[in-house]
Amino acid sequence: MPDIRAYVANFLGCGSGLTQYQDGWVRDSLLFECDGFRFQFIQNQEIATRNPGKFKGRFVSSTEVMIRDVRNKDVSKAINALHRICWLLSFASLSRVICYGYEYPYGTGLERLWAVSGAADYFRPIINIRNGEETVRFINKTYNNYKGLERDRKLNVVIDYLLHAEKPDQPTEVRLILAFIVLENLKHTYAKNMSLPYKRGCFWKGTAKRSKPYPFQELVDLMFRQVKMRKGLTRVKNLRNEMIHTGLTNRSHAWQWKKYEQVHDLLREYLLRLLGFSGDYHTYAATGREIRKL
């Protein structure tokens, strides 16, 4: 059966497997097995061997992906699986990893290319993407859960908004508002999936006349408890109310940035737990130096 050669941008990680070139060995190869397909990611040698910070802020053709032995009727299924892997890599690296085309059958020159946008970034990634074994482990642990939840919990939208919040040169208040939109979206899809009654723009505790709507904090607490998180949300709730109702806060930038780090870490941990991840990950607030275990 023929192979697919696909093209991926903005993934600044290294491989777990070694490839020999004329000038030496390069750790540039990653192998994922998802939905019955084998995806071999081959990183650009320059990205695999140089400081990833040199590629920040621009669209980078980073990766060639070989998908072996794909029947014609399974091409769409294989490419959809690759898109899911790219969304997970986007979350893990906080960089907009995106598939922008493929050739099938490989070697015929018959290509399909998409107009895409997005820039590479390397700032406080969730896992150590420069360690290929950690990247493979992350995909293996999260892919099936991501596939099962992506539509009901709008996970691609959630990840996309997290990436927008990380764009440089924007006010911290904008970052906070985007983070709160992510939290609101996750809260909404959680409540909807729990089949909670919804009327007049609120989720309610029952259908009786005396039933009351869920306050923001209580509903988020329930969402967190579902994945066994116990987090105090009072300060986050107060800041969220201030930002949503006024669009601004008179707090100092240092205070705002600290709160953004805290909200980001809440979202980071929640999504990792939701995806069934177990293992080491990096916190945002500690600039990637602190490693926590799930």
Q: Please check whether residues 105 and 165 belong to one and the same domain.
A: no
Written as one string, the DSSP assignment of 134-159 is: HHHHHHHHHHHHHHHHTTTTTHHHHH
Q: Please check whether residues 18 and 110 belong to one and the same domain.
A: yes
Q: Give residue 226's pLDDT.
A: 95
In a domain, 153, yes or no: no
- Picking from 7, 54, 48, 8, the residue whose alpha carbon sits closest to that of residue 24 is 48
In this model, does residue 51 exceed pLDDT 90?
yes
In a domain, 202, yes or no: yes
In this model, does residue 98 exceed pLDDT 80?
yes
Q: Give residue 288's pLDDT.
A: 63
End-of-domain residue from the set 105, 129, 153: 129
Rounded average pLDDT over 23-45: 95
Range(s) of the domain holding residue 203: 161-293
In this model, does residue 87 exceed pLDDT 90?
yes
Q: How far apart, in whole angstroms, are the C-alpha atoms of residue 39 and residue 292? A: 29
Rounded average pLDDT over 231-254: 73
- Picking from 36, 45, 20, 100, the residue whose alpha carbon sits closest to that of residue 68 is 36
Q: How far apart, in whole angstroms, are the C-alpha atoms of residue 171 and residue 163? A: 15
In a domain, 39, yes or no: yes
Q: Please check whether residues 65 and 165 belong to one and the same domain.
A: no
Residue 21, amino acid? Y
Handedness of CA 99, 156, 269, 260 (dihedral sign): positive
pLDDT in tens, 143-199: 999 999 999 999 999 999 999 999 988 899 899 989 999 999 999 999 999 999 999
For tokens 């926590």, the residue is: 292
Average pLDDT, the chain: 93
Q: How far apart, in whole angstroms, are the C-alpha atoms of residue 217 and residue 163? A: 24
Q: Give residue 22's pLDDT.
A: 81
Domain count, the chain: 2
Q: Please check whether residues 168 and 113 belong to one and the same domain.
A: no
Rounded average pLDDT over 123-131: 95
